[in-house]
């Protein structure tokens, strides 16, 4: 197995473990995990230029950083990501966390 494949397998396992830990925390305290996941924090343009930490553009030149974006930044800029799952009928209702192959930033 080449080094690139080994790194992808290792990253995949680490992402799954992280999602599992987040789901365990959610099961223990859904209110806290919902609040932490929904929170957005103002950040500098420099952080907005980071290659693996994705920030959300806000009004003007401002941006904000979320908890899941920071965690995903630990795993690099390409490939799978951790995603928060929400109820389609109630977009403020967090259901848990999973690993996805691609992601799209939702406002």
- pLDDT for 90-105, tens place per residue? 888 999 999 998 655 5
Give the pTM: 0.80
- The domain locations on the chain are 3-100
**Using 50, 70 and 90 to split pLDDT, how confident is the model at 6?**
low
Phi, psi at 11, each rounded to 5°: -65, -45
Sort residue 60 into left (φ over 0), alpha (ψ -120 to 50) or beta: left
For the chain, the residue count is: 107
What is the predicted pLDDT for the residue at 104?
Answer: 56
Assess whether pLDDT exceeds 90 at residue 13.
no
pLDDT in tens, 42-93: 999 889 888 889 898 888 778 999 999 999 998 887 788 999 999 988 888 9
């Amino acid at each position: 197995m080449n080094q690139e494949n080994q790194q992808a397998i290792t990253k995949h396992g680490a992402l799954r473990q992280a999602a599992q830990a987040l789901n365990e925390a959610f099961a223990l305290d859904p209110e806290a995990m919902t609040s932490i996941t929904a929170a957005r924090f103002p950040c500098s343009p420099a952080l907005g230029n980071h290659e693996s930490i994705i920030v959300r553009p806000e009004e003007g030149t401002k941006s904000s950083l979320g908890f899941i974006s920071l965690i995903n930044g630990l795993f690099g800029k390409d490939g799978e990501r951790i995603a928060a799952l929400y109820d389609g009928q109630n977009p403020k209702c967090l259901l848990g966390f999973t690993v996805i192959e691609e992601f799209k930033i939702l406002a």
